[in-house]
Amino acid sequence: MATPYPVTISVLIDLGSSPTFPVAGTPFTLNNATYGRLDYNFLSSGTSNIVDVSEQVVKISIGGGYNLFQDQFEPNQGTVRIYDPDGWWNPQNTASPYYGFLQVNKKIRIAGIYNGTTYNQFSGYINAYNYSFPTDMSFGYVDLKVCDAFRLFNLANITTITGGTAGQTTGQRINTILDNVNFPTALRQIDTGDYTCIADPGTQRTVLSAL
């Protein structure tokens, strides 16, 4: 059957291993044995378990980017609504094959497929699963609250930036910071930059602040 629209939407969720984050009240510190392990792909995935929910998605709302009025870049974030006739996306459903995997910080990718070419529109992480079961419906739905890696950078603390030497361009410094937190190179597209940096001060701050 021919698709009624020229663009096909693809939504993939990775229920595999997720970034390592602290429990409530525990600071996230890079290279902490429990709450910030390095060399363990904590900003990427060691084991993937991809679920294609494209046919169940009924609404997508994504926004963000540069805020002209506040003169700053804001995270891309939004909501993805999934109709759930089987109840599999209810985190409290112990009979779901996804039970125990519906946790925060699972990765999600939204793309549009046009004329055989895939165009990525959003790559980020799930922050919450807001499940609803309206009385006028025979099944429920879940709203996935999603945000890009800015949220991860704002949760992670960093002090010393290895390789943060004087004379680096801004682009080189950003790449150095991302290297220090093992952020995947495949998810970067960074210009060289027009200015040079002083040596990193080595003060404690969030990764987002360092960037």
- What is the tens place of the pLDDT at every residue in 65-88? 777 888 877 888 999 999 999 999
- pLDDT, position 30: 44
pTM confidence score: 0.75
Q: Which residues of 7-24 are buried (b: 16+ CB within 10 A; e: fewer)?
A: eeebbbbbbebbbbbbee
Distance CA 174, CA 190 (A): 8
Helix/strand/coil percent split, the chain, to 5: 15, 35, 50
Q: φ, ψ for residue 78 (rounded to 5)?
A: 175, -160
- What is the tens place of the pLDDT at every residue in 138-154? 889 999 999 998 888 88
SS3 category, 89: coil
